[in-house]
Amino acid sequence: MTLLDAAGLQTIYGSGCSECLTTTGNRAGTNQCEHCGSVVACANADLRVESGEVLGIVGESGSGKSSLAETLALERDPEATVAGEVAYAGHDGNLLDVDYQTRHALRTGEIAFVHQHIRDGLELEFTGGGNVAEKLLAAGWRSYEAVRERVRELFEATEIPPARMDDPTRTYSGGMQRRVQIARALATDPELVILDEPTTGLDVSVQARVLDMFRRVQREENVAAVVVSHDLGVVRLLADRTLVMRHGRIVESGLTDRIMEDPHHEYTQTLINSVL
């Protein structure tokens, strides 16, 4: 079943002009419009996510991965002009046009986002448990014991020592903070989790454990995910299908194995050959 179907997604920073789309992109080799100076973070992006499936998005820094992820996660950047159509299962109309209440309900219930920067996603002065509880409380949970129980369950599922539950999040290690973000994202049993660079700032062994944990929880809960990463290893490990982005455009898409073993696009070939 198709969970999310997006067509013609476009994010532009700046005034924008009629030439923007023709003067940017992979062929033009830039994402900045030479006429008006606007940055086309992403354009003409079509993608689909089936329920329970993991979609990977790879590309170099500045290729528009995060902009695309933020659009899908219903983040709103007041400086950006966003266009496109997003259809979401069980929801009528374009997801990009919803009013605040609907957006708030979707974001506390069905679509969770794990921010690239921990500070954007967590309140570091709150306890780790409090950060996870916030999602539940915002969704209307009003029994303290039930919230407590669910938080403990999520801490165990994401392999954070429950003994640290009531310590301020700022005292956690980077890996634990990342896990708290994932626990928070999964708190209300969403249909779709969007992870923006889930392994940023983690050393390799912690990266591996966080990814293993996420892969296990993702399969257990059968939650669909969009994983954005510059790291091909992350995408290879998690994603069923992969999109490759460059200069704000999707240049190649397909099954992850096919992309890794038989890259068609010249840029994808370079990307795969350049893995250390």
Q: Which position among 126, 153, 159, 233 is part of the footprint of another protein (CB under 8 A)?
A: 126
Q: Which position among 29, 61, 100, 119 is part of the footprint of another protein (CB under 8 A)?
A: 100
CB under 8 Å to 230, separation ≥6 — which residues? 58, 59, 60, 61, 65, 197
84 vs 190, which CB is nearer to another protein?
Answer: 190
CB under 8 Å to 164, separation ≥6 — which residues? 128, 172, 176
16 vs 130, which CB is nearer to another protein?
Answer: 130
Is residue 204 a contact point for another protein (CB under 8 A)?
A: no
Angle between helices 144-157 and 204-221 (to 10 degrees): 120
Binding mask 153-182 for another protein (x = CB under 8 A): -------------x----------------
CB of 127 to another protein, least distance (A): 6
Q: Which of residues 218-247 bind another protein (CB under 8 A)?
A: none
Q: Which position among 147, 225, 238, 271 is part of the footprint of another protein (CB under 8 A)?
A: 147
Which among 84-92, 138-146, 209-217, 267-275 is the span making contact with another protein, rule CB under 8 A? 138-146
Beta strands in the chain (DSSP E): 2-13, 39-50, 54-59, 80-88, 111-114, 192-196, 224-229, 241-246, 249-255
From residue 268, alpha-carbon distances to 37, 59, 222, 258 in Å are: 27, 9, 29, 11
Is residue 79 a contact point for another protein (CB under 8 A)?
A: no
